[in-house]
Amino acid sequence: MRDGYVLRSPVEADLPAVAEAVSAAERASDPTAAARTVAGFRHEWASLDLARDVWVVTGPDGEVCGYGQVGGVREGRVIGDAYTRPGHLGQGVGTALLTRMEARAAELPRPVVLVNYVLLDGAADRMLRARGYARTRVHQRMRIAVDGPRERPVWPDGVTVRSCDGTSEDLLRVHECAEDSFGDRWGHAPRSYDEWAADLLYEAFDPDLWLLAERDGRTVGVALCQLREVEGRPAGEVSQLGVRREARRLGLGRSLLLASFALFAGRGIDSVGLDVDSTSPTGAHRLYERVGMKTTTGIAQFERALSTDG
């Protein structure tokens, strides 16, 4: 890095600056990107070793201008995440963070694949290619305005829909349905209920925004939603939309998506977004396009195998 830039482990007091820096980095490439929050980063940090898994970079004026982290290993894969604040590109911040992430991943007890998600065809995309990473998938960020007349959901015969009641019994049903629904998703690694709950049940969780589709007493589809902030306004996010194999090709996924739009519109929210694998085996991206969602940016998934000797 250039003189005056410092890479270090973060402290609790860095949380607001980290959330602001990462939000600025994401919005520089996609103005409709949802704002990152202190609560979200606090939740992520709770499962990480701040001294070994997380880094911030400060600039000559002391401002947080870079952020990076690596998550836990699951099925031999570890997720890396790094950002450089606009105005500090070209100073070596991204290279320094990636080097530290690779070194940390190589310390893990078995060979792992380091996964990074970056803006499609941007500077980080080119840097990862130059370091031997292979692009394995492309994901789309999509958004739709929901403040006008919208198509109503039509439920398949025998299917009813309701919001999650937040009880442990209901959450177990949601977990079971989600795991079954995503079992054929590329790269899916099964998660126990405790792992799943630790990831999703924190401050942003609102059971009223989780929709359950049921048939014959069995949960056959879920839409897990949350509130975000986009361009300074409240916005909706469909974090997960899943339908069991037994209930596919009946229009249930479409109806759950339309019901999610209506749910947010009822709260005065005027836009809803989501992320989707552009080569989803279920064709989810085509469904989202058919209901009027538009791609705002593309995210490339890059991977590189790292051995314990680097």
Q: Check pLDDT > 80 for residue 74.
A: no
- What integer is the mean pLDDT of 206-213? 97
Q: Which residue bears the tokens 């898994």?
A: 53
Q: Check pLDDT > 60 for residue 285.
A: yes
> Percent of the chain having pLDDT more than 90?
81
Q: How far apart are CA 12 and CA 42, in angstroms?
A: 8
Question: What domains appear along the chain, each with residue ranges and CATH number?
Answer: 6-138+299-306 (3.40.630.30), 147-269 (3.40.630.30)
Q: How far apart are CA 220 and CA 258, in angstroms?
A: 16
CA-based nearest residue to 83, from 70, 94, 95: 94
pLDDT tens digits along 1-15: 999 999 999 999 999
- What integer is the mean pLDDT of 34-53? 95
Tell me how many degrees the CA angle 222-254-180 measures, rounded to the nearest 5: 35
Q: Where does the pLDDT of residue 309 fall: very low under 50, low under 70, confident under 90, or very high at 90 and above?
A: low
Dihedral sign from CA coordinates of 138, 135, 297, 43: positive
Q: Check pLDDT > 60 for residue 70.
A: yes
- What integer is the mean pLDDT of 65-84? 90
Q: Check pLDDT > 80 for residue 210.
A: yes
pLDDT tens digits along 216-275: 999 999 999 999 999 999 999 999 999 999 999 999 999 999 999 999 999 999 999 999
pLDDT tens digits along 151-185: 999 999 999 999 999 999 999 999 999 999 987 76
Q: Where does the pLDDT of residue 191 fall: very low under 50, low under 70, confident under 90, or very high at 90 and above?
A: confident
Question: Looking at residue 188, what is its pLDDT?
Answer: 67
Q: How far apart are CA 300 and CA 68, in angstroms?
A: 17
Q: Check pLDDT > 70 for residue 281.
A: no
Q: Is the pTM of this model over 0.85?
A: yes
Q: How far apart are CA 240 and CA 87, in angstroms?
A: 34
Question: Looking at residue 310, what is its pLDDT?
Answer: 43
Q: Rounded mean pLDDT of the chain?
A: 92
